[in-house]
Structure 1
Amino acid sequence: MQITPTYWSRRLFIQSLSAATAGLLLRPLAANATPGGLDPKITDIVRATIGIDTHNHIDVPLLSEELPGPDIALASEMQKSGLSAICMTFAVDYVKLTYEGQAYERFLTGLKAMDEVLQKNAMTRCLNTADILKAHKSGQPTVIQSVEGGHFLEGKVDRLQLAYDRGLRHLGLLHDHDASTPLGDIFTEPPRWGGLTKFGASVIRESERLGILVDLAHADDNTTNGALKVATKPVIITHTGLNTRLGNNPAMAKMMLPRLISKSQAKIVASQGGVIGVWTHLADNAQQMADNIKAMVDVVGIDHVAIGTDTKLTTPYHSPKDHFEQHDKNKQVHPAVINGSTKEPRKSNHQHRPSGETTTNSLWPPLTKGGASGFYYELVAALLKAGYDQKAIGKIGGGNYLRVFDLATAKQA
């Protein structure tokens, strides 16, 4: 992919815009949601920066008979977290797909369920960068609609138009299992397709035409490099970490290793203007996550790192029908690793986090004794301790994502 002058001019525009908003100390959360007892510097940075989790699963029903699903306190959890926005994602391939059209049905049902969640929480989807900035300025938490895996396309690239019209602005090309019409090779499976497929390439081109950000998480290196040759705009890999940062649990490290990125591959993505989201996995506390972020920054630079927790901000949803039509468990369910041992996790619409019911805001102990501070507060405090100032935290926290999101969603003149 060639980096055009347009890329750099828009990048400078967004960076200067981010600096301006930081200087205004805008208010992304209600005053009564700010945790007491924290260092004012932490709360000021949380307010000033646009914190975005680029990959957060919100569990909803994927079967029409289970609609509308349980009440989900999304807005209050976002207020507690300190985040301004999340890329609200879901996947349709956790339960085995058995017939043509099923992935599309689940996709449409998932979007309808998310419509209900947003309506009940008085929230809307952001469709462009201006929407995100407006929501942040007004103190309104918001979401960017994402989906993990192009299974719903079922070989029909024109379905991207409908997805776009329904508010999709962030597309994960791959997930844990091949789509009925494969888009590329998955990093946890033996290579089968020689990297990016012809259909995968057509999906990238159409996504760019419409204004949808392409996410290459779950793609192996060959697929990623093929995608970079096709793409004319920067891409993102939302949730990973360096394969040199394996944490303190050898069994968990062994399970997660195929999902981690090498330094050389990270540099390739960054060299094309891309952004890499660092996740919470293999970090036992906020400081370890900050150290993992710092390690990534040391490799690719401060302008190419973001947050992609791969967690759930709200309570997991467990379908009554989750017990049937599962994939072979050796392929479908990654073993949860707890204290070096393995066991099958509770089935839900996401499976990596071993504790089952742990949510984004309850990953780590609070910063204050007897207090309860949310995820972004914890991370900002840790990033400060790691030596980053407000400008750098603003880039990692959401500014870098905003840059590539703006490039992806901006309409061409």
Structure 2
Amino acid sequence: MQRSNSSRREFLSVAASSASGLLIAPLRAAEPDSRLAGVLARTISVDLHSHVGIPFGKPNAALPQFDLPGEMKRTGFSAVVQTWEVDSVPPSATGQEYIHFHEALDFEDRLLAATKVKRALTLRDLEAAHARRQPVIIQAAEGAQFLEGHIERVDEAHKRGLRVLQPVHERDDRVKPMADIYTRAAHLGGLTEFGAEVVKASNRLGVVVDLTHMSYDAVKSALKISAHPMIFSHTSLVPGPGDKPGDPRMAPRLLSKEEVRDITAPGGVIGVWWHGTNTVKEYVEQIKRVADAAGVENVGIGTDTDLEPDVRRLYTNAIWKGETRGMFPAVAEEMLASGFTPDEVTKVGGGNFCRLFGKVAGAR
């Protein structure tokens, strides 16, 4: 099941030593890598998990006053998988989360119309937008509690432009729970029968399934029944011997090497997030660790941040103190400096997700 990555760590070590011996590192510090511009120009870069704030319960709320396409261009991302959490507001009764689902999509419709940003529904949409240098979003939902036992609502969500569905988040569907949640005590036996229906319906419609927040028993069950590769949009590896200790509060949200390999064996993609890093260099180290475990062809970027400045969630363009470059340009430059090839940077930056998205949602 493990891909042939045993030589990767050795290669990077040798490359680093060679660079040091040839005094290349100081040159890199003095001027940008000459390969960077080409990487940034050709990569359809994608953030696998980007938030937008939804004013639930206020259907006529004013739109936020920020430049969505401008902020996306500052990050260097061609597209973001833009999501919201239906379960961020406790439901007062059955049916409330379905109302919140419509409020979220209605708000997104207004925001996108006002900022002239479109949804990408297929890989061809992504490619066309990139050719025009126009930022786009891929619509997602973090938590499918709005289904409330109605499998036909997956079809409804698809018709409204949803292309990535994360079945669980922090709270169970009050009518028909879909899976155990990794931050709560298991009580459902992993993936439920209804959860399996949701995975199969998503496969049928061309909706990418995001396994994040599922218990690993649930993940394994989903892997057995899914006809398509899936993503785990925002996570990283459990620290190993010699690695920097992580925040113990984040431990349930991290994956072991075995779990990463299981998810990526069918072609899945792991979105690496910034948690536990203080610099872009430390973040690239996390990317390396996941690439060593699963293969560079199965790694992506999932920030779990917000494009809107001055919100409670971390702002995408200010993840690391003192970092003035956009998110993706900073990561791409550091990846090149650390030994990744331009093609590998393109894969991690968005190529791997695009491959999966084309397979699941369709190329045209």
TM-score range with shorter-chain normalisation?
Answer: 0.7 to 0.9
Note the C-alpha offset of 1:98: 2.1
> Residues 246, 50 of structure 1: CA spacing in aligned structure 2 closer, same or farther, 3 A cutoff?
farther
Q: d(CA) in 2 for partners of 1:247 and 1:310?
A: 26
The alpha-carbon deviation at position 184 of structure 1 amounts to 0.3
Query: In 1, Cα distance between the equivalents of 2:201 and 2:191?
Result: 15
Query: Judging changes above 3 Å, is the alpha-carbon distance between structure 1 residues 170 and 298 closer, same or farther for their aligned structure 2 residues?
Result: same
> What residue is the counterpart of 2:329 in the other structure?
377
Q: Distance in 1 between matches of 2:298 and 2:242?
A: 22
For 1:58-109, what per-residue CA distance to the aligned partner results, in whole angstroms no more than 9, with x for missing partners? 1122223452432232111011111100000001111212211111111111
Q: Counterpart of 1:64 in 2: which secondary structure? A: coil
Indicate which of 33, 55, 58 corresponds to 2:52: 58
Q: Once the 2 structures are TM-superposed, how far is the Cα of residue 111 of structure 1 from its aligned partner?
A: 0.8
Aligned counterparts of 1:263 and 1:357: Cα–Cα separation in 2 = 28
Cα distance change on mapping 1:65 and 1:108 into 2, 3 Å: closer
For 2:139, the aligned partner's letter is Q
Deviation per CA, 1:356-390: give whole Å up to 9, x if none.
363011112456xxxx3211111111111221111
On the 8 A contact 1:170/1:212 being kept in 2, the answer is yes
Instruction: State the TM-score, normalized to the length of structure 1.
Output: 0.77
Matches within 5 A, 1:282-301: 282-301=276-295
> What's 2:170 paired with?
176
Pairing partner for 1:192 from 183, 187, 192 = 187
For 2:203, which of 208, 212, 223 is the aligned residue?
208
| 1:182-203 alpha-carbon deviations (Å, 9 max, x no partner) | 1000000010100000000001
Q: CA deviation at 1:40?
A: 4.6
Residues matched between the structures, number: 333
The equivalent residue for 1:362 is 318
Amino acid at match of 1:237: F
Q: Which runs of 5+ in 1 are unaligned?
A: 1-36, 318-355
Superposed displacement of residue 42, structure 1: 2.3
Larger CA deviation: 126-135 vs 93-102? 93-102
Of 335, 354, 358, the residue aligned with 1:402 is 354
Of the candidates 108, 113, 122, which is equivalent to residue 107 of structure 2?
A: 113
Structure 1 residue 89 corresponds to structure 2 residue 45: no
Aligned partners of 2:33 and 2:336 also within 8 Å: no
- Specify the alignment match of 2:24 in structure 1: none
Q: Classify 1:245/1:91 alpha carbon distance in 2 versus 1 (closer, same or farther; 3 Å).
A: farther
One-letter amino acid matched to 1:50: I
TM-score with structure 2 setting the length: 0.87
Q: Percent same amino acid among aligned pairs?
A: 35
Whether the 8 Å contact between 1:60 and 1:69 is mirrored in structure 2 is: no
Give the corresponding residue for 1:275: 269
- Tell me if the contact between 1:56 and 1:86 (Cα under 8 Å) persists in the aligned partners: yes
Superposed CA RMSD in Å reads 2.0
What is the letter of the counterpart of residue 213 of structure 2? H
Deviations 1:111-141 (A, max 9, x none): 1111111112111000000000000011001
Question: Which structure 2 residues correspond to residues 312-391 of structure 1 after superposition, within 5 A?
Answer: 312-315=306-309, 356=312, 358-365=314-321, 372-391=324-343
Q: Could you tell me which amino acid in structure 2 is paired with residue 185 of structure 1?
A: D
